[in-house]
Structure 1
Amino acid sequence: MLQVRLLGCFALEQSQRDQSAVLGRNGRRLAAYLFAYPNRSHRRDKLIDLFWTESAPDQGRTAFSTALWKIKRTIGASGRQMALHAVGQNVVLEIAKPAIVDAHRFASDIEVALSASCADSIRPAIELYSGAFLEEFDGDWVLEERERLEVLYVRALTLMMRQAANQSRYEDALCCARRILATDPMRESAQRATMLLYTLNGQRGQAIRQFERCRATLREECGVDPMPETRSLDLMIRSGAVFERIPTLLNETFGTGG
Structure 2
Amino acid sequence: MTGLRVRSLGAIEVARDGQPVRWGAGSARDLVFLLLARPEGLTRDEIIDALWHEDAGDRSGNRFRVALHRARTALGGPGSVVELHGAYHLSDGVLRSSDVFALYAALHEAEHSEGEARFRALSRAVETYGGDFLPHVQAEWARAAREEYRGVYTRARLERSLLHCEGLHCDLAVRDLALALRADPYIGENYHQKLMTCLSVVEGRYAATEHYRRFLRFLREDLGDTPMPETVALAQRLKAGEPICVRGHRDALPRFHTCPLTADGTCPGPYAELLKLA
Query: Per-residue deviation at 1:215?
Result: 0.7
CA distance in 2, matches of 1:165, 1:125: 19
Contact 1:114 1:156 (C-alpha < 8 Å) held by counterparts: no
CA contact (8 A) 1:12 1:20 kept: no
Instruction: Return the alpha-carbon distance in structure 2 between the equivalents of residues 75 and 245 of structure 1.
Output: 53
SS of 1:254's equivalent in the other structure is coil
Structure 1 stretches lacking a partner, 5+ long? none
What is the Cα deviation at residue 10 of structure 1? 3.8
User: In the superposition, relative to structure 1, how do residues 30 and 249 fare at CA in structure 2: closer, same or farther (>3 Å)?
Assistant: farther
| Residue identity matched to 1:4 | V
Amino acid at match of 1:174: V
Deviation for aligned residue 1:4: 0.9
Q: Secondary structure at the match of 1:96?
A: helix
Q: Does 1:106 align with 2:107?
A: no
AA partner of residue 222 (structure 2): E
1:1-40 residue pairs with structure 2 within 5 A? 1-14=3-16, 18-19=20-21, 22-24=24-26, 26-38=27-39
Deviation, structure 1 residue 173: 0.5
Residue 222 (structure 1) shift: 0.6
| Preserved CA contact (<8 Å) 2:196 2:212 | yes
Partners of 1:6 and 1:36 within 8 A in 2: no
Return the letter of the residue paired with 1:201: V
- Alignment check: 8 A CA contact 1:20 1:28 kept: no
Q: CA deviation at 1:175?
A: 1.0
Q: How much does 1:233 deviate?
A: 1.2
Aligned match of 2:275: none
Question: Is structure 2 residue 226 aligned with structure 1 residue 225?
Answer: yes
Asked if structure 1 preserves the Cα contact closer than 8 Å seen for 2:14 and 2:20, the reply is yes
1:48 CA displacement: 1.3
Indicate the RMSD between aligned Cα atoms, in angstroms. Answer: 3.1
TM-score normalised by length of structure 1:
0.81
Give the SS at the match of 1:134.
coil
* Alpha-carbon distance, 1:129 to partner: 1.0
Counterpart Cα distance in 2 of 1:87 and 1:171: 50
Alignment of structure 1 residues 1-258 onto 2, 5 Å: 1-14=3-16, 18-19=20-21, 22-24=24-26, 26-38=27-39, 42-54=42-54, 57-76=57-76, 83-85=80-82, 91-96=88-93, 98-117=95-114, 118-138=118-138, 141-186=141-186, 187-241=188-242, 243=243, 246=246, 247=250, 248=253, 252-254=257-259
**Aligned-pair CA distance for 1:154:** 2.4
Q: Which has the higher contact order (CA 8 A, sep 6+)?
A: 2
Identity of aligned residues (%): 24
Cα distance change of structure 1 residues 253 and 143 upon mapping to structure 2, 3 Å threshold: farther
Give unmatched runs, 5+ long, in structure 2: 262-278
- The structure with the greater share of residues assigned to helix is 1
Once residues 166 and 85 of structure 2 are traced to their aligned partners in structure 1, the CA distance between those partners, rounded to angstroms, is 58
